[in-house]
């Protein structure tokens, strides 16, 4: 059996004008703004092959999520019946990983300008993957 | 600034006949087999709303990945030019999180039968999300 906990490292951070959860749309396609992803400069080689026009999945750590919640009202609307967190994209879940599909608009060294990205300013980034 | 490391917890484990990386297809759509996801029984409430026919994203921890590699030959084929890991789905990357899109075939309490899933037996599962 494998171990039960893993050391997830911040590889970068979201820089965004969004600084408030209530202002953030629930999903990126609902008006998510442009944002910058500032990658750790030591990881810049990992961006080889990422260019303007690339579509990426951005994995974030939703540090404001509640890790002890197993059922939520979808979209924080109490008129929606409770659902298991694994049937929702709620930020509250045992491992509050966010998943955001974005287009790369610009690459500037270790920094990527992307849209749409609904994560608030300061959100840690933990992985980037190409959309297949 | 947020902290630089996060405590990712195993929420379940893959049970599969695949027990060897070389036997595992590179992507699920290339012949990934059926597998079971055995969720921690304490997290069963989180599956409310997940049913046969649901499409899920399974996030795994690819514990055999090399976290210090920033460029790889895609698909482990040295005739492919080196690319940055963030432009590939390589298991070797700073945070070796795997992302697998599957269909739920059966729900049995805290256990899900899914396909296709190319992860080897014993791979830790760290999150489940609905496909939007």
Span B9-33, pLDDT tens digits: 999 999 999 988 676 666 655 556 8
Q: What's the CA gap between A65 and A35, in Å, rounded? A: 21
Asked if the structure places residue B1 within a domain, the reply is no
Which residues in chain A (71-130) have CB-CB distances under 8 A to chain B?
A: 71, 82-89, 93-95, 97, 99, 122-124, 126-130
The CATH number that applies at residue B60 is 2.40.30.70
**For the residues of B69-112, what is the DSSP string, one character each?**
--EE-GGG-TTSPPEEGGGS--S-SSS-EEEEEEEEEEEETTEE
> Is-contact B98 B62, C-beta < 8 A?
yes
**Among B40, B32, B42, which residue's Cα sits nearest to residue B98?**
B32
Q: Is residue A6 situated within a structural domain?
A: no
Give per-residue pLDDT as tens, A89-116: 999 999 999 999 999 999 999 999 999 9
Size of interface A-B (CB pairs under 8 A): 164
pLDDT at B74: 87
Domain enclosing residue A87, as ranges: 12-130
pLDDT at A3: 72
Contact (CB, 8 A) for A42 and A116: no
Q: Is B6 a domain residue?
A: no
The three-state secondary structure class of B52 is coil
Residue A109 falls within a domain, yes or no? yes
Q: What is the mean pLDDT of chain A?
A: 91
For chain A, the domain total comes to 1
| Interface contact A89-B132, CB threshold 8 A | yes
Nearest CA in chain A to B104: A87
Q: Is A38 on the interface with B (CB under 8 A)?
A: no
């Amino acid at each position: 059996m494998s171990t039960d906990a893993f050391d997830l490292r911040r590889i970068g951070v979201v820089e965004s004008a969004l600084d408030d959860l209530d202002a953030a749309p629930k999903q990126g396609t609902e008006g998510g703004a442009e944002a910058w992803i500032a990658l750790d400069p030591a990881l810049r080689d990992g961006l080889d092959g990422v260019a303007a026009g690339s579509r990426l999945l951005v994995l974030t750590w939703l540090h404001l999520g509640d890790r002890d919640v197993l059922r939520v009202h979808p979209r924080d609307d109490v008129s929606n019946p409770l659902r298991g967190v694994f049937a929702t994209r709620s930020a509250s879940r045992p491992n509050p990983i966010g998943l955001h599909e974005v287009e790369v608009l610009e690459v500037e060294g270790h920094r990527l300008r992307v849209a749409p990205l609904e994560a608030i300013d300061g959100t840690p980034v933990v992985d980037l993957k190409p959309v297949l």
